[in-house]
Structure 1
C-alpha cells in the first residue's frame, strides 16, 4: 500500500472508530506537496465538509501566545525570570515568573475565577486580571506541573499591554500575517463545522454550545483549518524551513521553547512540557512537539516531528475533529507522523568530500582521553566536533565555535557540555598537545587524574 492510501486508511479508521462527525487532517513537509483529507459531515448545510472547513483548535491557541511572549523577550520587552508584577499591576500572584507560567509550573488554578463551564460566560480581559485575587495558587511555585488556562490567559494580557494593543491584533500582525495563516481566526467564520457531543450509548450526536473565551482567549479561542495548523506545526519543529527569514521568531528561540522544563507525570516520563509546547518522545531520539486542544464539541491535535531516522524537514501534522469525546483524534496525529516517516522517509543526501580542516585545528583531530574514557574529535560541516568514542551513532556530537578575540579558545554551541569552553594548549611547533574542556584535561594517552598514564599501573 502506497503512502497516501495508508494515511487515508488511518484517518478513516479513526473517524469511524471514534465516531467523529467531521474529521479534517493535513500533513505538511518541506519536501512534498501538502496532503489534506476530510471525512464525515460538517453539520453546516451551507458549507459541506472540505479542506476549508474550520474547526475550533482550543488549547493549540496557547502555542501562539507562547510565541508572542518569546517575541517580546527577544525584543527586550520582558525577562522570562522576572515576576509578573514587574509588568502588570495585579491584585495577587504577581510573584509568579513568566517562565513558570509558560511551563505550567507556577501553581495557578486551572481556570479563571468562577464557574465558566456552567455559565458559558467568560470574564473580559479586565475582569480576568481584576479577579486574580479570587483565584487560587493550588501548588507552590515550581513544585510540579499543573496545567492552567488561567496562566496563559494572563500571559496573553501581558503581551497585549507591552505592545499597547489587543492580543487579537498582536496575533494577526505578528504571526498569522507573516506566516500566511489566513484561515486561522479568532471568531468562527461561515465555514465553521458544528461541534458535537456524541452519545456514549447510541449514535446520537448533539450540537454543543460555543463559548467565547473572552479574556481567556489567549488560552483557547482560535478556529482554523487542518492545513493551516499543519503549517504551524512545521514552524514549531522546523522554523528554518517554515520561516526561513525569521520573520516570526528566530530558530534558536523556537529551539529554546522545545527544551523540556518539566515532565507531565512523576512516575511515567512519557511526555513533558517546554515553554508553551507539549513534548512527546517517540524513541530513538525522535520527538513530537506541539499541542492538543479541546473545546465543547471539538478536539485538535497539532504536532510536528523532529529527529529520528528518515524524518524530513518541516514535518507537521494536524488532526481536527468535531467531537469533544473522541481520543482517537489526538492519537491519530502521532500515528500519521510516524506513518509518514515509515512509508515515505526523507531522501538521503549523498556524502561528498569537502575541504580539509583548517591547518590550526588538524592536530586536534583523532582520539583523546579524559576521565579514563576516549573521545573522537573531528571536523565536519565546517566545525570542530567531538563524540564519546562508544556513543551510539544517533547521539548528536558536541559542536564548537571559536571565541572571538581568544585564540585557541572555543565555545561548545551544541551537544554534550553545551556552553562550556574548550581550551587548546600547543607545543613550540604549534601542535595541540593538551586540551581542557569544561576544565577537564584531555590528553592523547589514557592517564589518571594525577597525570600518570594508566598503562604504568601501580608504582
Structure 2
C-alpha cells in the first residue's frame, strides 16, 4: 500500500467514525491509475462488506435518466423545449418543458401527490399519472431552482414511452450494458448493505425499509457499488475516455449537460444545476471570483439519499494535477451519515494534489495553415488585448491577462463555405456561436483587421470611433 493510499484510507475511516456510518464503500477511478477501493464497517447482512456490496444510490439515479433524455434529443426523438405533454399523456402540467424539468426550474411540486415519505406508498404508473391532476405548480416556470422528484420521474416515464419499453429496460439496454456497469440494478441483491437510522443519542442503529419507488423509479430507484459509480462519475466528467465512440452519448452533449442553467442558492452560488447534473465549483475563491491559483475546477455529478442510505458521486474537471476520466463515489449505509457528502469532494481534491497526473512532454506540431499564419499574435478589441494562436490544429484566442485555466475561444472555418477561409465560427469558449471575419490588405493579402461578434480587432489599440 502506498503512502497516498494509506492517507485516503485514513480519510475514509475518519469519516466513518465521525458520522457513525455502519458501512462505507468508496472507489476512486482515474484513467492513469488502477482503481482504488476501500470499505469500512459491516454490511449488516449475511454477506461480508466488500467492493461488490451494493448500496442504494438514491437521486444519483437522476443522472442516468438525464442521459437517457439527451440520447433521445440527439436522435431527434424530442426537443429540450418540447412540453412534456407531447411525449406523455398527462392530465395536468403537460406544458412543462423537458429543459425545465431537467434543470429543476419547472416549478412543479417536489413529490407526487400524497405523503409518500410518511406512508411509503409509492404509486405505480397509472396512479402516478392520474394524480398529476392534484399536484401543484408551486412556482412559475423559470422563477428559481426548486428540486423535484416528480419532475425527474416524468422525464423517465416519457423516455420509456418514446422507446416503447419500461424505464428499467431502456436504462439497461442503452447505458448500463454499453458502459459495463454490471453491478447497477433496480433492486437489492444478496450482497446488498442494510440501510440504517443511527440513533442521535446512542450507538443503536435501526434498519430502514427498502421501498420500491414504482413510477418514481427514474428519480431514485437504483442500487450500485462504489466501483460502478466511480466509473459513472468519470464518464460524466470525461466521456470520451470511457466511451470513445460516443455509443452512449457524444462528448459535446455532456458538455451541454454540464453547462449551469441555475444556481441552488441565490446568495452563495456554491452549486448549480445543468441538465440533470449538479455542478460544484472547487477551490479557495479570490476576490475576483476564481481560485487562488487561477485554476478552474468543477466537480460534476449528484448526491443521493434514501431511507438508510447516502451517496455522493462526482467527477472532477480542470485544475493542475487532475488526470483524465477522474471520478469518485462514496456510499454509506446511514441516512444521517453526512460525512458521505463531503468525502467524495475531499478525495478527488486529495488525489489530484497528492498523486497528480503525470506531465506529458510537449512535442512540436504542424504549422498553422498559410491563410492564418499572418494573423497569429496580439490584437486589440474593445480596448483590451487578445492573443490569437494555433494549437492542437485549431485557431484559438484568449485574453492576454486570462488565467491559465480559462478555456480559449476556438474557431473553425464554416463547413458549408470551404472556399471562404476568412469567415470562421466560434465553436467554444468566449463568444461561442459568433463569427470571426478577417479583412485583408487589398494588395498584400495580409490580415489588417478582424471583426469578432461584430467588434473590430486591430493590431494597435484604437478608439471605437
TM-score, normalised to structure 2's length? 0.95
Question: Which residue of 2 is the match for residue 321 of structure 1?
Answer: 332
**Distance in 2, Cα, partners of 1:50 & 1:58:** 20
CA contact (8 A) 2:108 2:138 kept: yes
Aligned Cα root-mean-square deviation (Å): 0.9
Consecutive unaligned residues of structure 2, counting only runs of 5 or more, are 284-294
Question: Which residue of 1 is the match for residue 370 of structure 2?
Answer: 359
**Distance in 2, Cα, partners of 1:355 & 1:252:** 25
CA contact (8 A) 2:197 2:335 kept: yes
Size of the aligned set, in residue pairs, is: 449
**Distance in 2, Cα, partners of 1:229 & 1:301:** 9
1:360 CA displacement: 1.0
Question: Which residue of 1 is the match for residue 307 of structure 2?
Answer: 296
TM superposition outliers: structure 1 runs of 4+ over 6 Å? none
Residues 1:179 and 2:190 aligned together: no
Question: Which residue of 2 is the match for residue 454 of structure 1?
Answer: none
1:115 CA displacement: 1.2
2:352 to 336, 341, 350: 341
Question: Which residue of 1 is the match for residue 464 of structure 2?
Answer: 449
What SS is found at the alignment partner of 1:259? coil
1:129 CA displacement: 1.1
Which stretch has the larger CA shift, 144-153 or 346-355?
346-355
What SS is found at the alignment partner of 1:319? strand
1:247 CA displacement: 0.9
CA contact (8 A) 1:123 1:216 kept: yes
Question: Which residue of 2 is the match for residue 422 of structure 1?
Answer: 436
**Distance in 1, Cα, partners of 2:126 & 2:173:** 22
**Distance in 2, Cα, partners of 1:341 & 1:245:** 27
TM-score, normalised to structure 1's length? 0.97
CA contact (8 A) 1:121 1:212 kept: no
Question: Which residue of 2 is the match for residue 102 of structure 1?
Answer: 102
CA contact (8 A) 2:124 2:214 kept: yes
Consecutive unaligned residues of structure 1, counting only runs of 5 or more, are 451-459
**Distance in 1, Cα, partners of 2:254 & 2:126:** 30
**Distance in 2, Cα, partners of 1:402 & 1:2:** 50
Question: Which residue of 2 is the match for residue 26 of structure 1?
Answer: 27
Which stretch has the larger CA shift, 119-128 or 308-317?
119-128
Residues 1:206 and 2:220 aligned together: no
Matches for 1:12-411 after TM superposition, within 5 Å: 12-45=13-46, 47-283=47-283, 284-404=295-415, 405=417, 406-411=420-425
Which stretch has the larger CA shift, 15-24 or 379-388?
379-388
What per-residue deviation string (whole Å, max 9, x for no partner) do you get for residues 266-318 of structure 1?
Answer: 11110000000001000331000000000000000000000111110000000
Which stretch has the larger CA shift, 402-411 or 203-212?
402-411
Question: Which residue of 2 is the match for residue 455 of structure 1?
Answer: none
CA contact (8 A) 1:2 1:343 kept: no
Question: Which residue of 1 is the match for residue 426 of structure 2?
Answer: 412
**Distance in 2, Cα, partners of 1:374 & 1:361:** 19
CA contact (8 A) 1:107 1:139 kept: yes
